[in-house]
Amino acid sequence: MTPTELHIRPAVAGDGALVFTFIHGLAEYENLAHEVLATPESVENTLFGPVPAAEVLIAEWGSQPAGFALFFPNYSTFLAQPGIYLEDLFVLPEFRGRGIGKALLERLAGMAIERGYGRLDWSVLDWNQPAIDFYEGLGARALDDWMQYRLTGEALQRLAGAR
């Protein structure tokens, strides 16, 4: 990879459709496309509206969009420091093997350090061995003693006491 081939930039207003394309590509890779309720418009509104819900880095190979990282701050009470939670990392199949995923993670790690954050967290599906091998090769470790939980839909509404 030469420095001129790969460019990583923050996503900006107007990138919602591109980010949606990456989200949909990731969902297809994870066999979860049927769960995507997002639209290009909702992505644009939630990421670039008055109160952005997350940040996005776009990786471009030459002039072609190649991948993305979507992330937001979290907080460690044990460290008493914020961190970055990486929600999505995805590189289009035709651009894999060029160091783009690693470059996106390097940029996120640098952002965490620059912002005075204490860590970088993410989840990976247990069947995604190529990703697990990639992450462990970078020095990341699985948190085997933690289970992730989620409330959505009716269960979320019920807990919130919605009528």
| Active-site annotation, residues | 135
**Cα–Cα distance, 64 to 67 (Å, whole number):** 9
* DSSP states of 41-103: HHHHHHHHSSS-S-EEEEEEETTEEEEEEEEEEEEETTTTEEEEEEEEEEE-GGGTTSSHHHH
Tokens linked to 58: 């776009």
CB neighbourhood size of 116 (10 A): 8
**Cα–Cα distance, 71 to 74 (Å, whole number):** 9
**Cα–Cα distance, 146 to 123 (Å, whole number):** 11
**Cα–Cα distance, 114 to 112 (Å, whole number):** 6
Contact (Cβ atoms closer than 8 angstroms) between residue 88 and residue 27? no
